[in-house]
Structure 1
Amino acid sequence: MSEIVVVYELDKPIAKRSSLGTPAAEEPPVRTVHAAPSAPGAPTATGPRTLCGKDTFAMETARWKPSEHPTAPWYPAEYASAVCSDCDAVIKT
């Protein structure tokens, strides 16, 4: 298998009002953490689909690289509750 890239499926941005009354964008929370194979010939670039089959186009690539943490899970620990169970099952097989 090629290098694994961790990607975040984000919730839609939440608009809130600043003190000046103008809407200000808020950082969208991570909805689901997915794993995707790297793009052919580009180990740090995300392939077109996650391991569970979702399109990665609108997902954010995580800074976390599983290859840099060989004794840790493939995902960042702070997002353990948001891990895609289908992606996790593919990695464990």
Structure 2
Amino acid sequence: MSEITPELVTHLASLSRIDLSPDEIASLTTELGQIVDSIAKVSEVATADVPATSHPIPLTNALRADVVGETLTQEQVLQNAPEQQDGKFVVTAILGEEQ
């Protein structure tokens, strides 16, 4: 049985500045008690000799060699830009002032 009592739920609600009705306190007492009990059951099963896992199946990254391929020239990149200056895109300021 868990240590969650209506008084504890009322105290936690007060600390959190949450106004709970008596029905909500009763419901939360039961629900929080079930959560604490479930965590206790899991803690009983978890042992130090069982390694923690993030995935049940071992995963490996599928990596390929980083090979330089065909690239665009600066002129090709900028050819359809609405506005450009000094080999760069010109865009409107988004912070309200020029950078």
Q: How would you bin the TM-score normalised by the shorter chain?
A: under 0.3
State the TM-score, normalized to the length of structure 2. 0.14
State the TM-score, normalized to the length of structure 1. 0.14
Q: Between Structure 1 and Structure 2, whose CA radius of gyration is higher? A: 2
Relative to its length, the structure with more helix (as a share) is 2
